[in-house]
Chain A
Amino acid sequence: MSALLRVEDLRVHFPILKGAIFQRRVAVLKAVDGVSFALQAGETLGLVGESGCGKSTLGRGIIRLYQPVSGQITIDGEDVVAMSADELKHKRAGFQMIFQDPYASLNPRMTVFDIIAEPLYTAWGRRDRNVVKRNVLELMDSVSLARKFIRRYPHEFSGGQRQRIAIARALALKPKLIICDEPVSALDVSIQSQILNLLIELQREFNLSYLFISHDLSAVKHISQNIAVMYLGKIVELASCEELFRAPQHPYTQALLSAVPYPDPRQERQRRRILLRDDLPDPTCPPRGCRFNTRCHKVVDKCYRDEPLFKDVGGKHFSACHLS
């Protein structure tokens, strides 16, 4: 089976410029620095990592909201990086995005109809309003949003309902891939599971593939088949969901997992947290050798010299650590 989304050695860099008219590059922020993975049709890849590790940039780079400096992105057999702006406009239907903050991702001056119809009008051009409206109503049905709300405005909805509107907009063009950029982290905990379950239902119904970006491990565990852990612009571990939670290989993953509380208080009392030292290093000059060496609790000499390879440690479980 060939993958729906294949990313190879993707790099998204941002130059940091100084000066106004004669701009010079003082540094390069390597937000995404050589990332490779594949996502099968109908599956979900969870992407976790702390704030600033480049996970959102990766998501936006894949659908070319940011221009990658190098690497390859293939979606449904088509090279996304090589597409011209014009070509891209037509192909955008195939990959959509759900944003983190449903209070910021909906234009406050547009009605629900205008918001969900915008992708339809953009893709089809001028169309009979009734045809568009029928589509909008069907989309509202599929995200369980009452039809009577079609003429309402975003500020008249709760966060969860707003996110449903955003999901309906993303679904409008029948994409195969949806980048979910922390779609539940701005919502109340009670609403989070509703939205997560909605996403899972929609995935089954429309055979969608998700790249699910989150810093919430339990949300990712709930929805993903595979999980990638990102640190400072690179994927450090990639494995199936059960495998990653059962036997995390990379010390960073181990530290992340140790922070997840158990629902059972007896287990919870025995939980040993691995505390990470310091903050994320400056991404404009990542440490030599292993990028994690400044904070790793298992660090050895070799980690300061050589950058570890991202290698299979058995059973499609990849890890970038000298010790695994």
Chain B
Amino acid sequence: MTDAAYKLGLAGKGEEKGTSLWMDSYYRLKKNKMAVVSFFYLLLQAAAAVFAPLLVQFSYEETDLVLGAVPPNAAHWFGTDDLGRDLFTRTLYGARVSLAIGVLAAFVSVVIGIAYGAISGFIGGRTDYVMQRLLEILYAMPFMLFVIILMVMVGRNIYVMFIALGAIQWLSMARIVRGQVIALKRMEYVDAARAIGVSNLKIIFRHMVPNVMGPVIVYTTLTVPAVVLEEAFLSFLGLGVQEPMSSWGTLINDGVAAMEVYPWMLIFPCSTLMLTLLALNFIGDGLRDALDPKVSRH
């Protein structure tokens, strides 16, 4: 590299690469053992769910009434249920539904929540007032009841459940985003951008969104387990996915019925659900600590 080229600043030689706040957070997260372990556990779980058809030699729906319920053994790791279906297979297929619903509903809540919260906070004044009162009214409604009525009316449609669960999760997200946007609106770097003549749209996307992403990511990771649990709850009530499809909720429901005779039918789906929820919560906590070091740890 010639000296002249460097002077022109084309080379970038000798430039010290800075550590962005994202990198800082990544290093902090890496140090959090529980979060890392949880992350790999979830990765494994998700991969197993996605590639379930390739991994198992049993079908999730084919019954074997002759076999009936057998306890865990070399062929059936989690045992079989009373209809002779392999529980390990059914748990993996259940993960597909449970995880998909968790991720999709969280995604729906993020999209609606950010849009609603950002508009409310950024415009402020009367618009903000009306939007916030509307939010409070929605908060006051018994949403689970709403979802239940909806599921009864529309029928047990898995896609309706995706949307319904996402739609009840965005309220808190909208509030979090609004609060952040209002705080950021008063930051001097936003004034500085205005003084330069940067348009509102660019101020939102360049200066506000990257700075609200931290709390949004944390809240999203904590939304996923909440939705997974709600799906399990709905399926447990018999309003979730339809037989012979399985979700963790339906498996637990079956397990409860057979608890006294075939305890493994309850133990394995329950443990899987619990481990997943724990992992998601550990990651959420880890991300919170990593993204906002000002919040004291313990």
Contact = CB atoms under 8 A, between A and B. Distances in A.
Contacts of B10: 130, 133-134
Contacts of A169: 192, 196
B251 to A, nearest CB: 43
Contacts of A21: 126, 129-130
Interface stretch (A41-49, A118-126, A201-209, A296-304): A118-126
Contact of B16 (A23, A110, A133, A149): A149
A21 B133 CA distance: 11
B14 interface: yes
A92 B8 CA distance: 28
A245 B14 CA distance: 49
Contact of B197 (A88, A101, A156, A166): A88
B21 interface: yes
Contacts of A156: 18-19
A303 to B, nearest CB: 37
A148 B189 contact: no
B14 A23 contact: no
A101 B198 contact: no
Residue of A63, A104, A105, A107 ringed by the most chain B CB atoms within 10 A: A107
Given A107-B207, A109-B21, A148 B16 contact: yes
B298 interface: no
B187 interface: yes
B42 to A, nearest CB: 27
Interface residues of B, number: 33
Residue of B18, B22, B129, B202 ringed by the most chain A CB atoms within 10 A: B18
Nearest to B191: A65
Given A21-B129, A107-B211, A108-B211, A150 B15 contact: yes
Residue of B17, B18, B22, B196 ringed by the most chain A CB atoms within 10 A: B196
Contacts of B211: 107-109
Contacts, number: 104
A166 B9 contact: no
Interface in A39-98: 60, 63, 65, 88-90, 92-93, 96-97
Contact of B188 (A105, A110, A148): A105
Contact of A151 (B8, B18, B188): B18
A147 interface: yes
B130 A92 contact: no
A120 to B, nearest CB: 9
Interface string B195-238: 11111001000110011000000000000000000000000000
Given A104-B189, A105-B189, A155-B21, A92 B195 contact: yes
Contacts of A23: 126
B31 interface: no
Contacts of B22: 109
Q: How large is the interface on A (under 10, 10 to 19, 20 to 34, 35 or more residues)?
A: 35 or more
Contact of B9 (A111, A147, A152): A147
B193 interface: yes
B135 to A, nearest CB: 14
A96 B195 contact: yes
Contacts of A123: 197
A60 to B, nearest CB: 8
B16 A109 contact: no
A290 interface: no
B191 A153 contact: no
B197 A134 contact: no
B28 to A, nearest CB: 14
A99 interface: yes
Contacts of B206: 107, 110, 118
A153 B9 contact: no
A65 B194 contact: yes
B15 A111 contact: no
Contacts of B126: 20-21, 23
A104 B186 CA distance: 10
B9 A137 contact: yes
Contact of A100 (B8, B187, B188, B202): B188
B296 interface: no
Contacts of B2: none
A151 B188 CA distance: 22
Contacts of B9: 130, 133-134, 136-137, 147
Given A99-B188, A104-B188, A109 B210 contact: yes
A93 B211 CA distance: 26
A119 B196 contact: yes
Contacts of B17: 151-152
A166 B18 contact: no
Nearest to A130: B10
Interface in B2-54: 8-10, 12, 14-22
Contact of B196 (A122, A151, A152): A122
A122 B20 contact: no
A107 B187 CA distance: 9
Nearest to A60: B191
A106 interface: yes
Interface of B: 8-10, 12, 14-22, 126, 129-130, 187-189, 191-199, 202, 206-207, 210-211
Closest 9 CB pairs of A and B: A152-B18, A105-B188, A92-B197, A137-B9, A104-B188, A109-B210, A89-B197, A119-B196, A153-B18
7 contacts: A65-B191, A65-B194, A101-B188, A119-B196, A119-B197, A151-B16, A152-B17
